[in-house]
Amino acid sequence: MANTMIFLADGFEEIEGLMVVDLLRRAKLNIEMVSITRDIMVTGSHGITVKADALIEDADFSKADAFVLPGGMPGTRNLQSHSLLNEELKKANEAGKLLCAICAAPLVLGANHILEGKNACCYPGFEEELLGAITNENPVTHDGNTITSRGLGTAIAFAAEIITTLCDKETADQVLKSIIYM
């Protein structure tokens, strides 16, 4: 079973973070919410406070198969300025681990030169910060070991692509079918 870490910073977009946590857990994947603050309690951009599973200084990065960065402001800028997180993202990229970012958060991957030569998408207006990326307007873009997505409205599709990659399409479809009644 794949292990995923999602990094929460004060000012993260709650839906982008918690939708991923919820859907990956429905797929029976391990996902650990990691606070990059000095507190286990992290407050999102809309005033919702979430209790993380661990503080970043206590996290065991070696056990993670995938890393997820939710967007939101100032959450994305807080992720971008966290030196330990950025070091670990670079190491994870070198190891070929799955790196996922939604909304403005792909700029964190861009700032770490992880998107160079790759197709990627982000919230409109942040394209120039995806250094070296070939940007598009797709809801979700999967290129190599990166998955990027445009924002809150694409959070379900983003999580489904992560599940498809870590499990398989059948598992992703089953999770989506369990939450979407048509």
Is the pLDDT at 174 greater than 70? The verdict is yes
The CATH number of the domain covering residues in 3-179: 3.40.50.880
Neighbours of 103 (CB within 10 A): 30
Residue 13 to residues 19, 31, 162, 168: CA-CA distances in angstroms?
10, 17, 18, 27
Domain ranges in the chain? 3-179
Element (H, E) at 38: none
Contacts 24+ apart (CB under 8 A), 167-170: 167/2, 167/27, 167/29
Contacts 24+ apart (CB under 8 A), 118-121: 118/143, 118/144, 118/146, 119/143, 120/146, 120/148, 121/148, 121/149, 121/150
Q: pLDDT digits over 115-130, tens only?
A: 999 999 999 999 999 9
pTM above 0.95, yes or no: yes
Mean pLDDT (the chain) is 97
CA 148 to chain centre: 8
Per-residue pLDDT, 181: 63
Residue 132 to residues 100, 129, 143, 164: CA-CA distances in angstroms?
17, 9, 13, 26
Identify the CA nearest to 122 among candidates 98, 144, 97, 140.
Answer: 140
Per-residue pLDDT, 87: 98
Identify the CA nearest to 8 among candidates 47, 28, 36.
Answer: 36
Q: pLDDT digits over 133-171, tens only?
A: 999 999 999 999 999 999 999 999 999 999 999 999 999
Task: Kindly state the percentage of the chain with pLDDT values over 70.
Answer: 99
Per-residue pLDDT, 180: 81
What is the DSSP track for 96-157? T-EEEEETTTHHHHHHTT-STTSEE--STT-GGGSTT-EE---SEEEETTEEEE-SGGGHHH
Place of tokens 């995806």: 130
Tell me whether the omega of the peptide bond preceding residue 74 falls within 30 degrees of 0, making it cis: yes
Q: pLDDT digits over 39-68, tens only?
A: 999 999 999 999 999 999 999 999 999 999
